[in-house]
Structure 1
Amino acid sequence: MLEDFERGRVSAFFRRVADSIPVSDRPASLVITHLLAERPKFLEGVARLSDVAAVLPKPRSIDEGALRQVKAAMQVDELNRDRFADPEQATAYVESRAAGRSLGLLDVGGYFAPALEHLHTHFSGRILGVVEDTENGHQRYEELDKLHVPVFSVARSPLKDPEDYLVGQSVVFSTEALVRSRDDILNGRPACVIGYGKIGRSVAAMLHAKHVGVTVYDTDHVRRVQAMSQGFRTAATLSEALAGAGFVVCATGNFALREDDFARVANGAYIASVTSSDDELELSALNSMYARTPTEPHVVRYSRTGHYFYILADGNAVNFIHGASVGPFILLVQAEILAALALLASGQYGPGMWEVPAEVRQSIAATWLTYFHGVS
């Protein structure tokens, strides 16, 4: 929990960033977010630039104190991926919150992607564009046949690198804590990391630092070469990577393990994810094949004759169990999201994928250093 002076410093930082890119025609916004303990201050920053029509918290990452605080000041609605997967339902919802307004969509995971074209065509107001926070969301927008509005992605921003690195560390921390809750340890169990993006690299490095043997699997050949250059064993196939692995960390954002893959998981293995279960693990397909038995909090044993394994945190981002904190580094990404929202409101960007300009990122980093490390 932040001290009062720390909350004041965060507010001042966001105020400085928000005021650095003036918005002459104030838009509305819909905000999908992880509603963690520090998030109300970020939402205050969003409210400096836009009229927040609604906040939609991701259901598996809600801090109750933050939820109460935000509900006292803003409209909070339930986030439902099925609603946004149906263009008609999505448009009806957006109309109910921001009819006739210029509207920016702040996304975490590509929720608005399936309905974006329909929203562009049928919404009574104007969709200014989208700001996307995550790699899997970036990919969902990139895969659309045509983008009719600008989409600013911060997923591959250098300002996100510190967050991704520290998320990997927190994933290993939470995985180890849950394994230890069963009087077990990581050491002595070969590990498999599926996905060698920025978070997967951090997970692999942290496991290596704990003297755990790591095999990396990635469908991208370049990433496998990168993993090999860092001293990790790599596997040419997922089956090879899973063979004998005592625990598996899924870091792809795009179904690391599907129905048929679970049969190849070693007996007694622990499976952890760095993102939502509906993005990483096809667990729903196992309901008719495996019995589910909770063994400890956040640990579920899946078993059938001759085969069993453990799923941590119901297949959701395991680090959210312990708050997923990455310290003040998360503020860098949130500040870039604010800058992207301001740029959308400027109306200077056409349809397509965009990044925040390098000079804006430099300004954000300099401001962050001033507020949080006393560097000018």
Structure 2
Amino acid sequence: MEPCERARLHAYFSKIASQFAPAEPAASFLVTHLLAERPAFVRAVAAMSRLRAVLPKPKSVNAAAQREVEQAIPCDTLSRELFTDPDTALNYLESRAPGESIVLLDVGGYFTPTISELHSRFSGQILGVIEDTENGHRRYADVDKLPCPVVSVARSPLKDPEDFLVGQSVVFSTEAVMRDRGDILHGRPALVIGFGKLGSSIARLLHAKGVQVTVYDIDPVRRTQALSQGFVVARDREATLAGAGLVLCATGSLSLRGEDFPHLRNGAYVATVTSSEDELELDGLPDVYTRTAASEHVTRYQTTGHYFYLANGGNAVNFLHGASVGPFIFLVQAEILAAIRMLTRAGLAPGMHEVSANDRAAIAATWLSYFNR
């Protein structure tokens, strides 16, 4: 990032922070993709709250960004296991912010397994959670009797540009890793599993490249949407898997179970938009499969008479090339900052919440003044 771009980004986040600054800042913990541009957002969170620790998602860490963040804020190791056991999760929070009022900023529902225990046992007060992803949104929505408010930005209209551009980056990176091996998209029927914001963007982009696209989604409403947009909608999932030369998983939950992989046609590529632990049941693959490196970012799974390729170890393929969506990501990050103020004001009932339309409009207007150039 050029110095002038850094200065503009700093000015933008300073403006957002002044617009949404809480009267009394709370402590916070930040789960995030620690990508190259992310330190500016981390500084903004620290300006809006007493940021006690950054927990980078392990498969999306830019080393330079982490070094920059660590100069001011501790970076702790993140895993699903850290917040699966109530005692482990509680001990972690107590070690960093004992007795404080805290806000948890999440990406993918990491705090969901123990949120009720943490809320009741923590020595301070958990004011609430802010969730960034559709996957995490569903996890919190599925919690029986949420003990605190959860502000989700996953379905915000300010996230639509990001989702579209993430879809572009997924298609770009998938094609890039295929071309590294001398393969191309054309002549290879594609199956897109999941027709939400990301899946629909991916399907449209593949179609624009001349790829034959079939869509599968468990939601019948989304299947009708795909059909209305001219896509073939799979009736028989197993048969469609057998015919696809490229499978793109975009559900945000479990797309392929262990028993699904043997149905893939020989030489099929599999790529995902999120982490392998969310989209793929790789541990459920039959033991007869052996793994070898087909190229730097492609793994070949082979057994007698069958083989397929997995991009980026099953993790988000677009992170191979930075997963950049340009300045549009700063819209969503600003909405997360607005959500911090919502929670620190208190008064929100337990359950799912969204940032107000007025606050979103204010964010968009500020963003346009800095980035519509």
Q: Note whether the superposition's TM-score is higher than 0.5.
A: yes
Local SS of the residue matching 2:15? helix
Match in the other structure for 2:10: 11
User: Post-superposition shift, 1:273?
Assistant: 0.2
Local SS of the residue matching 2:293? strand
Local SS of the residue matching 2:291? strand
Local SS of the residue matching 2:73? coil
For 1:222 and 1:105, the matched residues in 2 are separated by: 33
Local SS of the residue matching 1:260? helix
For 2:93 and 2:284, the matched residues in 1 are separated by: 32
Match in the other structure for 1:55: 54
Local SS of the residue matching 2:243? coil
Relative to structure 1, is the Cα distance of residues 173 and 340 closer, same or farther in structure 2, using a 3 angstrom cutoff? same
For 1:285 and 1:311, the matched residues in 2 are separated by: 15
Equivalent residue runs for 1:329-348 within 5 Å: 329-348=328-347
* Cα RMSD (Å): 0.8
Match in the other structure for 1:285: 284
The answer to whether the 8 A contact 2:162-2:329 is kept is yes
Q: TM-score when scaled to structure 2?
A: 0.99
User: Post-superposition shift, 1:295?
Assistant: 1.1
Structure 2 unaligned regions, length at least 5 = none
Match in the other structure for 1:246: 245
User: Post-superposition shift, 1:118?
Assistant: 0.4
User: Post-superposition shift, 1:287?
Assistant: 6.4
Structure 1 unaligned regions, length at least 5 = none
For 2:253 and 2:135, the matched residues in 1 are separated by: 7
In the alignment, residue 124 of structure 2 is paired with which amino acid?
A: G
Local SS of the residue matching 2:127? strand
Match in the other structure for 1:322: 321
The answer to whether the 8 A contact 1:34-1:58 is kept is yes
Equivalent residue runs for 1:247-266 within 5 Å: 247-266=246-265
For 2:363 and 2:198, the matched residues in 1 are separated by: 22
The reply to whether residue 71 of structure 1 matches residue 85 of structure 2 is no
Q: TM-score when scaled to structure 1?
A: 0.98
The reply to whether residue 108 of structure 1 matches residue 100 of structure 2 is no
Equivalent residue runs for 1:1-376 within 5 Å: 2-286=1-285, 288-374=287-373
The answer to whether the 8 A contact 1:234-1:241 is kept is no
For 1:287 and 1:67, the matched residues in 2 are separated by: 37
Overall identity of the aligned pairs, in % = 60
The answer to whether the 8 A contact 1:113-1:141 is kept is yes
Relative to structure 1, is the Cα distance of residues 151 and 264 closer, same or farther in structure 2, using a 3 angstrom cutoff? same
Local SS of the residue matching 2:36? coil
User: Post-superposition shift, 1:194?
Assistant: 0.2
User: Post-superposition shift, 1:243?
Assistant: 2.5
Local SS of the residue matching 1:216? strand
The answer to whether the 8 A contact 1:216-1:241 is kept is no
Structure 1 consecutive aligned stretches of length 4 or more whose deviation exceeds 2 Å: none
User: Post-superposition shift, 1:240?
Assistant: 3.1
The answer to whether the 8 A contact 1:132-1:153 is kept is yes
User: Post-superposition shift, 1:24?
Assistant: 1.5
The answer to whether the 8 A contact 1:42-1:334 is kept is yes
The answer to whether the 8 A contact 1:293-1:301 is kept is yes
